[in-house]
Structure 1
């Protein structure tokens, strides 16, 4: 039995009322999405202009027409939390949380308790649309966890209440993966959920052992990847090695799940709780089908404003046959591009993809990252049991130089592990200038 709802209720989060209201909200979205969005945009904007001094100053004398409202970024929120809360809200009557920091600008934020209850009700509902019942499906959770102390026990207790077991992803040794396999042999897990890079590491280990995860754990039905990019080749590999369909989840700790769907297909946006916009570099809306910055608004968070909030990601929105918004592409993070000696830029995702295609040929490398030190200097840092041969290193360099078409230095460095955020996210490309 999943004890999450009971725990939420006991801690003042009215999950029962939230579930009932969510049903009503979803029906209203279906009836007239444009009217629903207009009403809730106006309501949350009016509330924060009247009740949140931080937000009213942030808007200042600017027009309160929606398209003229300023875009809110993470750096705008890096001031003490008590200076950002609405009237009547404090640390004592809110859900307080911290972003992962993988974007480089971590901060603490708040949700009022009813908003948090709505978020959880919606998460459970969105998972059901993918065939996963969080009340019955035992989750194998591949996330970071504190290594020791009270924080570790708190996470373990939260996992117990949420009917899940957390696999520590900071140790990618063969010994640890053997412990993972033993857990799957002796537990009836329903679905996996975790960061793409770590699930791929585990899948690669299973491959070396000629094991299919569902043969070990027949109760498995789905794999959910989140927080990191998923390439088509990786999706196919995961589906082969786990023998279950892969679901792509896109969300943020500040807002909850934003969109969900079968990997490499369109993702359903949670239009009941969140308004999503795609804007260009000048903060103007782009047509459906064109990429741009993903901007979100939380309709129901009264404690803390997230109005036209820039997540830092790039994506594409289209419409389905019923006219509903769907997220059809996630294309990395804003600023994720390599700057070459002549000043030209290349997308980090494409750059990473070219490298990955060559590196995968070795069959030896567990994972890798690319760090650009200067316009003419790149480091490829990889983890592998065996060092790459000179011919393999030469092949990687040749492939990259062919793609870049400029004179640059490429260093290839082997390490025993890669640096991750404190929650376990891996940033595949970094630029240090």
Structure 2
């Protein structure tokens, strides 16, 4: 059994107990509010005692009785700051056997490794199960879930996920020959998923692929859950039309898990039970309810490497719930005004190449940061800032790998690799660094 699957099975008793607690309090606004504040107070108390970067704050300042007031005295933290002082942001007493190392790059072009623990994993899974139980009217266990991501395996793959209520999860790559793609679509139809989850771009890709091959879509699932990218109105319409099912979008990131999830009534509810979300101005001060600013998040559950006032770079507006939503939730409501996108590069011949396909190749090599730039319709430039361990032969191998991948999609495309400094990456005008810039679209 895979180590992660074994760990999930061993944690199941704790996950199920936490799931029952969350399910019982989803409609109890007072209980959820009290839980959230007590968790914030406990996290901040832990941080000033056990985390080096925050220890001086606890030594020289008396903590206010109001945990929200105490939180406001903590500085904002960016991904780069956590990287630069990684050890200083970790719990002095962390237990390796209960911790996980997670590697992600998101869409920032900045590879990032962080630590999380079993406590966070348990509560992430438990709250998700409680919310899914409400949507499925009690049918949360033993579902069939289709995952549409940029698959890292070939063909069709199935497994049972304890973290998702012993769901049977199926995933099929959308790459390969026409015969292989037809076989994957046939396998998905046979799988008959109860729900679908994936990146918006790849949900659209699946719908388009089925149409191009002249095949029938799988039976309509209860819902399609999109995450990790900015969901455009056009993409939502295409997915709903193709799957004949409603779309439920979730704002999420690897560092936090699900942050705010859309209910059946179109409201994006914050996961208040395990996260503290703020929206701040350029100076880091909280803005008024409903006003746009940068989304900043404190993870209430991860103590091994506390994320306190973590800058997402995404823009949004936050407002308290005005009474229970029609779905019953009473948590804060988040509106995204600018988020992350996962682009596809349109090539001269009309084919499209996922940016994620190229960035995963780059991340095989020791680089500090990277960015893909579409200079012309037939020219893609890879900007790379290497780490000291990156050798000349690594850069050559990276360039050849990227070049070969581009030419497989369109032989007329030229790819160039250029090493740059930290100030040479291009900006899109948003707060967030991005891994792809299309100069032909300006």
Same fold (TM over 0.5): yes
- In the other structure, the counterpart of 1:402 is none
Mapped to 2, the partners of 1:368 and 1:6 lie a distance apart of 32
TM-score, length of structure 1 as denominator length: 0.69
The question of 1:49 aligning with 2:51 is answered: no
Q: Deviations over 1:295-350 (max 9, x none)?
A: 111112221111111122222223443174112224125xx9xxxxxxxxxxxx9x
Mapped to 2, the partners of 1:60 and 1:279 lie a distance apart of 27
Instruction: Kindly report which structure 2 residues correspond to 1:9-28, keeping only aligned pairs within 5 A, or say none.
Output: 9-10=9-10, 14-23=14-23, 26=26
- In the other structure, the counterpart of 2:211 is 207
Q: Deviations over 1:354-396 (max 9, x none)?
A: x99xx9xxxx665787x996xxx954579xxxxxxxxxxxxxx
Instruction: Kindly report which structure 2 residues correspond to 1:349-360, keeping only aligned pairs within 5 A, or say none.
Output: none
Do the aligned partners of 2:107 and 2:435 also contact (CA within 8 Å) in 1? Answer: no
Instruction: Kindly report which structure 2 residues correspond to 1:87-126, keeping only aligned pairs within 5 A, or say none.
Output: 87-126=92-131
Instruction: Kindly report which structure 2 residues correspond to 1:27-426, keeping only aligned pairs within 5 A, or say none.
Output: 30-31=29-30, 36-56=35-55, 65-79=70-84, 83-131=88-136, 133-147=139-153, 162-169=167-174, 171=175, 174-209=178-213, 211=215, 213=217, 217-218=218-219, 220-262=221-263, 265-322=266-323, 324-333=331-340, 379=376, 416=409
Do the aligned partners of 1:316 and 1:330 also contact (CA within 8 Å) in 2? Answer: yes
Which is further off, 217-226 or 45-54?
A: 217-226
Mapped to 2, the partners of 1:272 and 1:380 lie a distance apart of 47
Do the aligned partners of 2:145 and 2:193 also contact (CA within 8 Å) in 1? Answer: yes
Q: Deviations over 1:70-106 (max 9, x none)?
A: 1111112215865533133132222332224432223
Do the aligned partners of 2:150 and 2:202 also contact (CA within 8 Å) in 1? Answer: no
Q: Deviations over 1:224-268 (max 9, x none)?
A: 111111111111111111111111011122222111115993211
Mapped to 2, the partners of 1:313 and 1:185 lie a distance apart of 36
Mapped to 1, the partners of 2:97 and 2:119 lie a distance apart of 14
- In the other structure, the counterpart of 1:340 is none
Q: Deviations over 1:403-422 (max 9, x none)?
A: xxxxxxxxxx9982799xxx
Deviation at 1:146, TM superposition (A): 3.4
Structure 2 residue matching 1:315: 3-state secondary structure: strand
C-alpha distance 284-166 of structure 1, shift in aligned 2 (>3 A): same
Do the aligned partners of 1:200 and 1:238 also contact (CA within 8 Å) in 2? Answer: yes
Moved over 6 A (4+): 58-64
The question of 1:8 aligning with 2:1 is answered: no
Structure 1 residue matching 2:279: 3-state secondary structure: strand
Structure 1 residue matching 2:242: 3-state secondary structure: helix
Structure 2 residue matching 1:72: 3-state secondary structure: coil
Structure 1 residue matching 2:72: 3-state secondary structure: helix
Structure 2 residue matching 1:96: 3-state secondary structure: strand
Deviation at 1:12, TM superposition (A): 7.9
Q: Give the root-mean-square deviation of aligned CA atoms.
A: 4.2
- In the other structure, the counterpart of 1:343 is none
Point out where structure 1 has 5 or more consecutive residues left out of the alignment.
Answer: 337-348, 383-412, 420-426
Which is further off, 71-80 or 234-243?
A: 71-80
C-alpha distance 212-31 of structure 1, shift in aligned 2 (>3 A): farther
Mapped to 2, the partners of 1:67 and 1:83 lie a distance apart of 20
Q: Deviations over 1:54-85 (max 9, x none)?
A: 33368997896322311111112215865533
Mapped to 2, the partners of 1:48 and 1:158 lie a distance apart of 36
Mapped to 1, the partners of 2:58 and 2:183 lie a distance apart of 53
What is the count of residue pairs matched by the alignment?
358
